[in-house]
Amino acid sequence: MTAKTNRAYTELEARARRISALGDGLGILAWDQEVMMPDGASPGRAMQMATMAKVIHEFETDPEWRALLDAAEGESLDEWQAANVREMRHDYAHATALPPELVEPMQHARSECARTWRKARPANDWKAVVPALSKLVDFAREAAKAKADGLGLPLYDALVDQYDPGRKSAQIDALFDELARELPALLKEVLEVQSKGPAPLALTGEFSVERQRRLGEEIMRILLFDFHQGRFDVSAHPFSGGATGDRRITTRYDETDFTKALMGTIHETGHSQYESGLPEAWAYQPVGRSRGMTLHESQSLLFEMQAARSREFISFLAPIARAELAGEGDGWDTENLTRLYQRVEPSLIRVDADEVTYPLHVMLRYRLEKALIEGEIEVGDLPAAWNEAMEDLLGIRPPSDADGVMQDVHWYEGIFGYFPTYTLGAMTAAQIFTALRRDVPDVLAKIEHGDWAPLLGWLRENVHGLGCRFTPDGLIEHATGAPLTAAPFLAHLRRRYLSDAA
């Protein structure tokens, strides 16, 4: 039917399907690279992936898109089809915004800088990365300029738009400013409350990889992960990846501490469940994709922070963890495990931070990278600016650049505009979970008994199954009844770390 009446639209779908299927192939190659590939195969894999990326880019930038998009908008489309065309237009605008002659040198500068950083960070050698990073920042500014011109956006917003379409820095500023006003005082209060209670008892033992893997798998099954269409493996850096109908998450194990791998597994399961719940009817189409990185992070953080670090889930988890890990001695009770999983402590490293201090790490990066892209500061200014901001926001000063400005790979891979999505995701998670609890009041009681079906069912209906039917903000409003604000997140922190903990 569509084929007869909507010729341009039908052709667009065929083109999108091809690009998406190639992207899925690339997803499996990327997974294999991190999980299975022998070390010596890196050059070949780089060749395969660069070639596929180039072919995809050629398909994405085919000049015929423009006329087809215009023609399709004159055809009779339903709401999903119209949203699909909107997403295609957005993809096309991003794919064609960069001058072709910029693509390869920029990719080269990225590889170069990341390689330099991998050696320089362990050596705490900031000077070593300055030339490569400066070059990369120049490219990033040039790319931001080109994208800003092409998309009609402010410089930095044009970069954010790649990860979180439609997100504006004016909105981020307002949200982050509110956090900046509230969080430092809140943190102080939390630390006071905690100092009055008992300190958490570390759970020590020899937690073999095999036991931890079994525990992780058991919990993934509780979280309704579908192993018929998924895998669970090990990689140096945990991630959620794979392809349509083939969800693969990874973790890494520390045989002296099981808590990180376990919570990391829950986090990645949240990402993975989002992908699994995308609308099947729109698979391989832009409108069938996940709704950007803020929404993606909201789903992993809803699983991890809102649901799994709740006292309710921990009371379900504690006896299972003890049994699977043959835990002996004190501290395997709900009270202590909750204290372990809800501990707040200002620290140097973002990826190890708790949910109260994490936004401060992100704000710091957001402000610096925005100033960097807008030319207000230069690469040489970063270490001092970083250390001052750390002192200012968290009250600690990094003893080294390795644990300061050099700790994250993002900038050294040329990724600017991504950091805010972590904290926007945390706020979104709180707002969505608040709406979920309003609609399903016993959701935490169910989770306390290992029943995640009500939680997942609500997310499938109100978030996952909607793909890119709405914009990110539109989806949040559709799911929660209100635009994104910081209030639910701050309320969540106050409840968990002040009222409930007091």
Under the rule (CB under 8 A), what is the footprint of a copy of itself? Answer: 17-18, 21-22, 24-26, 28-29, 32, 36-41, 43-45, 47-52, 54-55, 226-231, 243-246, 284
Structure tokens at 256: 């002296």
Of 229, 235, 318, 316, give the one whose Cα is nearest residue 278: 229
Shortest spacing between CB 62 and a copy of itself, in angstroms: 13
Return d(Cα 411, Cα 404) in angstroms, integer: 13
Order of strands, edge to edge, in the sheet holding 246-251? 230-234, 246-251, 240-243
CB of residue 173 to a copy of itself, shortest distance in Å: 41
391 is catalytic: no
Question: Judged by CB, which is closer to a copy of itself: 41, or 482?
Answer: 41
Do 346 and 236 form a contact (C-beta atoms < 8 A)? no
Q: Which of 265, 205, 263, 211 is nearest to 235 (CA)?
A: 265
Sign (positive or negative) of CA dihedral 176, 182, 183, 185: positive
Which residue matches tokens 């504690």? Answer: 318
CB of 297 to a copy of itself, least distance (A): 24
242 - beta bridge partners? 247
Q: What pairs with residue 254 in β-bridges?
A: 257
CB neighbour burial string for 381-410, b if at least 16 within 10 angstroms, e if fewer:
ebbebbbebbeebbeeebeebbebbbbbee
Q: Check: CB of residue 102 under 8 Å from CB of residue 75.
A: no
Q: Specify the residue, 220 or 484, whose C-beta has the smaller distance to a copy of itself.
A: 220
What does the block give as tokens for 21?
């299927």
Q: Let me know: does 179 contact 359? Beta carbons within 8 Å.
A: yes
To a copy of itself, the closest distance from the beta carbon of 275 in angstroms equals 12
Minimum Å gap between C-beta 46 and a copy of itself is 10
Using the minimum distance from each CB to a copy of itself, give the nearer residue, 244 or 423: 244
Residue closer to a copy of itself, measured from CB, 276 or 421: 276
User: Minimum distance from CB of 457 to a copy of itself (Å)?
Assistant: 20
- For a copy of itself, the closer CB: 53 or 491: 53
Q: What is the DSSP letter of 254?
A: B
Decide whether 26 or 234 has the Cβ nearer to a copy of itself: 26
Cβ proximity to a copy of itself, 16 vs 459, nearer residue = 16
Write down the least CB distance from residue 226 to a copy of itself, Å.
7
How far apart, in whole angstroms, are the C-alpha atoms of residue 416 and residue 141?
10
Q: Which lies closer to a copy of itself via its Cβ, residue 284 or residue 470?
A: 284
Q: Hunting for tokens 């630390």 — which residue is that?
A: 191
CB of 211 to a copy of itself, least distance (A): 18
Cβ–Cβ < 8 Å for 145, 155: yes
User: Cα(263)–Cα(265) distance, rounded to whole angstroms?
Assistant: 5
Residue 387 near residue 401 (C-beta atoms within 8 A): no
Instruction: Find the catalytic residue in 13, 60, 87, 268.
Output: 268
Q: Are 448 and 313 in contact (CB under 8 A)?
A: yes
CA-CA distance, 26 to 21, in Å (whole number)?
Answer: 9
Please answer whether residues 230 and 277 qualify as being in contact, where contact means their C-beta atoms are separated by less than 8 angstroms: no
Instruction: Give the catalytic positions in this structure.
Output: 268
